[in-house]
Structure 1
Amino acid sequence: MAATHPYIPRVTLIFDFDKTLASDTIDAMCAVWGMEREEWEETYNTPLGDNWDGILKRGQALIDCGRDRGELLSRKFFDKAANEIALYDGVLDVKKHLSAVAKDILPEIEVELVILSSGYIEMIERTEVNDVFDRSWAGSFYFDADGNAVCMKRIIGHPEKARYIEAHAKGLALDVANSPQVNDPDFEEADMHVPLDQVVYIGDGLSDLDAFGFITNAGGLAVAINESARFDFAEEQLPDERVDNLAAPDFTEGSELLETLKQATRSAAARAALRRLSEGE
């Protein structure tokens, strides 16, 4: 057995979507229906009652709203709603900036950007991030032959985010039934797609706490995004869910957030460079 960790020249940054890379998708969908978010909550979400999975409930409330408002939750609807999404400044240049700082440390390294969201792939894939990010994992709907949403097909709950991160890092299949599967007794560290301590997770809210805790316990880095000077869910955080920095959602050159991501990327790239020195030992 090797005495050192394997050399894998890759850094992966995993981002939530809503309020991390862009404005809120539910707000965008409500805008197409000509209503405020609060009205949707009061008229469609709350009346469904208790004992639901929260993400399934939200999806059903959206389907019900589309039916009642005369504009079904359809592929055409998602085309319109995606136009209401505002990406945060500088998002589309993030990969360029982070790849540059990583390659200063290790020229052959790959910087990978991934989206992991409890929201909807039907929204994410219709925005410009789809052309910049390498992979997106998110909830999705099942559509009938007319292109109308019938029910939720995939949901990514808050605790499941940690399992998706682990499965992605291991390079395991995430598009199969009962995925993500993370336990494989024959799995070897050398088979990792990316070591977990070369992963940075970036999120904005309550849904990200499990992911923060998982990645920091695995030796990676966690960054929170918030408009204010404090994290809105600090009271709900456990000690191991604390993040390495909190910054406003501005990805432009010179911003605290971009500098934070550059430093995190340098840190992960330096770890890979260290392991290159010990390759085969």
Structure 2
Amino acid sequence: MTLATKSLSNRIAVVFDFDDTLVPDTVDSLLNSCGIDALQFRAQRIQPLIDSGWDKILARFYALIEESQRQDNKITQEYITKFGQQLVPFDGVPEMFDHLQQRARELNPKVEVEFYLITCGMVEIARHNCIAPNFKAMWGCEFHYGKDGGIEFLKKIVTHTEKTPYLFQLAKGIEHHKDDAQTFVYRDVPQEELHVPLTQVIYVGDGASDIPCFSLLNQEQGVAIGVYKDRTPQDWGRELSITQSQRVVNLAPADYSENSELMQSLTLAVESICKQISLHQLSVGE
């Protein structure tokens, strides 16, 4: 007898933004490491570009490259590597990965929790951070380096709306090293062959760059969680002009310590999906 049950996989994907979600803003921190006042730099160097029509992400990196070159190409690949190694994540982040995996195993030994990172920031910094080994894949902006080693141009950019194709990519199980998520993400994949259905994806982000992902997961009945730092929840929603379709299931401070509101939210989200998977396994006799 064939049961008309929906298809689920035995995987849960937890997807994170990077800047101001897992670590402090990397551009501000990188500028500070170069002896530059980040707030002043944003106001005097980045904002005028945005006001003249530049894309926000391109404006930020153009100004950063220009400043590095002004300082005799100070920001090199080696500099970024060391900076990434020294960058300290928010409280509880290093322990969070094992906690969520362990909780999933307690509820259902067959369930695997995978972690992904999608950032409009410098993914090269994330790749050298202490938390990098926890991620199955990382996507974000990358630099091209000149002959002297300094940052010279962007060779890869991820804008706000370009985050969502990577959600489709991880859902379909397309290996990230074989393509850039732009060419193959819209291929039809039968529901039963999905690596992780979007209903089993949890996305965590802090700002405007995450709104397209919030919207997609609301549409697909996944889980969207918002985090904030140095703001109130009211400021967060007002600044981002969140609409009904972009709402998050919870908004919590960027604190991943064991008993924090954010850690409770993540744990409950994992538990909820684990129980859905267990129900499905029961219905198909696994």
Structure 1-normalised TM-score? Answer: 0.91
CA deviation after TM superposition for structure 1 residue 249, in Å = 1.2
CA deviation after TM superposition for structure 1 residue 35, in Å = 0.9
Corresponding residue for 1:265? 270
Distance in 2, matches of 1:172 and 1:259, equals 31
User: Which residue identity does 1:151 align to in structure 2?
Assistant: F
Would you say how many aligned residue pairs link Structure 1 and Structure 2?
Answer: 280
Corresponding residue for 1:237? 242
Deviates more, 1:64-73 or 1:228-237: 228-237
Mapped contact 1:252–1:258 kept (Cα < 8 A)? yes
Deviates more, 1:1-10 or 1:259-268: 1-10
User: Which residue identity does 2:282 align to in structure 1?
Assistant: L
Corresponding residue for 1:72? 74
Corresponding residue for 2:39? 38
Distance in 2, matches of 1:19 and 1:213, equals 20
Give unmatched runs, 5+ long, in structure 2. Answer: none
Matching residue within 116, 126, 129 for 1:127: 129
Provide Cα deviations, 1:24-68, integer angstroms capped at 9, x if missing partner.
Answer: 101111112101112322443245462322212211111100011
Mapped contact 2:169–2:181 kept (Cα < 8 A)? no
Identity %, equivalent residues: 30
Corresponding residue for 1:276? 281
CA deviation after TM superposition for structure 1 residue 178, in Å = 6.7
Distance in 2, matches of 1:114 and 1:92, equals 14
Corresponding residue for 1:82? 84
Structure 1 runs (4+) deviating above 6 angstroms are none
Distance in 2, matches of 1:12 and 1:238, equals 25
User: Is 1:19 aligned to 2:20, yes or no?
Assistant: yes
Q: Cα 1:178–1:146, aligned 2, differ >3 Å: closer, same or farther?
A: farther
CA deviation after TM superposition for structure 1 residue 149, in Å = 2.0
Q: Cα 1:109–1:177, aligned 2, differ >3 Å: closer, same or farther?
A: closer
User: Which residue identity does 2:284 align to in structure 1?
Assistant: E
Distance in 2, matches of 1:85 and 1:180, equals 33
Q: Cα 1:83–1:71, aligned 2, differ >3 Å: closer, same or farther?
A: farther
Distance in 2, matches of 1:164 and 1:83, equals 25
Corresponding residue for 2:254? 249
Deviates more, 1:202-211 or 1:129-138: 129-138
CA deviation after TM superposition for structure 1 residue 280, in Å = 8.0
Mapped contact 1:224–1:245 kept (Cα < 8 A)? yes
Deviates more, 1:79-88 or 1:261-270: 79-88
Mapped contact 1:113–1:135 kept (Cα < 8 A)? yes
Mapped contact 1:226–1:232 kept (Cα < 8 A)? no
CA deviation after TM superposition for structure 1 residue 143, in Å = 2.0
